[in-house]
Amino acid sequence: MFFPEYRARRTRRTDTLRRMVRENFLRIDDLIYPMFSAFGENIRKEIPSMPGIYQQSIEHIVAEAKEVHELGIPAVILFGIPEEKDPLGQDAYCETGIIQETVRAIKAAVPELLVITDVCMCEYTDHGHCGVIKDGDVDNDETLKLLTAEALSHARAGADLIAPSDMMDGRVAAIREVLDANQFSHIPVMSYAVKYASAYYGPFRDAADSTPQFGDRRSYQMDPPNRLEALREAELDVQECADFLMVKPALAYLDILRDLKERFNLPLVAYNVSGEYSMVKAAAAKGWIDGDRVMMETLVGMKRAGADLIITYHAKEAARLLQS
């Protein structure tokens, strides 16, 4: 197959031909939409760095959950902004905590919508770290006790799927054990298996009000240059019976998505994080890029890299384009 007998352009000549040889697809079923649930009433506050994304009180969350379901998006992932924060993040595992109330409200109004809860402590602690602080750092094993309590209380409230994002060692096994011991053996765990200490989370921390009050997250989240460590992290979570593996962020880590796809046979999730969303929105607002096209190209790129599912703030816009 050499030029001039072989010409690669032949199969790109018309839209019909391009459709016929297309290799990867973004589907509405691939999308998971993140939402920020805030304590209070009639709150709907747009996050300045994330146009179109809001901190909302429960009645608005429920209304948006209905819209998401009507668009055909199968799932949402919830983050909570509690009324009060404290060193042990008590709202995270309280029966009447912000997430527990939100899950109950969504499941009552839109039972077919799959509700995923993010399990972590940083939205609930006054210091903003993802666990219990001891001697100036997050204590792994003490944090596991809180995370398992949080996961169990989410399941009790009706969560369909539990997604731990804290990066403590041993948390998938600990959560699996507590779920199984409490009649929740049918609830899957989606592990944020490979989560890097990333500057791309900046806008999210405004949205969730979860910026660490001292230091950073580098003693528990991964160092961006590392690849083999990502494979070790994923391997551990597979051994601990995770049902889904996640790579986060997505855009600067497409190689890691491909690596995990080739080595593991669990469904693979890409988290198209807040900073990735904000960059597209900001450049589009300036008229520097075509926002819709960059969004679709980015999302299908994640599929091509190996993602089966994508958590994305673009989910509603992408679903509308996929419907039309």
Applying the rule CB under 6 A, the residues between 301 and 320 that interact with ligand PBG are none
| Window 146 to 175, contacts with ligand PBG (CB under 6 A) | 165
Counting contacts by CB under 6 A, is residue 273 touching ligand PBG?
yes
Q: Which is nearer to ligand PBG, 109 or 170 (CB)?
A: 170
> Residue 122 or 315: which CB sits closer to Zn ion?
122
Q: Could you say which residues in the range 94-123 bind ligand PBG, by CB under 6 A? A: 118, 120, 122
Active site residues: 195, 248
190 near ligand PBG, rule: CB under 6 A:
no
Taking the least distance from each CB to ligand PBG, the nearer of 130 and 187 is 130
Q: Which of 61, 98, 130, 305 binds ligand PBG (CB under 6 A)?
A: 130
Choose from Zn ion, ligand PBG, none: what does 266 bind? Cβ within 5-8 Å by kind: none
38 contacts ligand PBG (rule: CB under 6 A): no
Residue 5 CA, distance from chain mean position = 48
Closest CB to Zn ion among 130 and 260? 130
Query: Which residue's beta carbon is nearest to the bound ligand PBG?
Result: 204
Query: Footprint of Zn ion on this chain (CB under 5 A)?
Result: 120, 122, 130
Binding site for ligand PBG (CB under 6 A): 118, 120, 122, 130, 165, 201, 204-205, 273-274
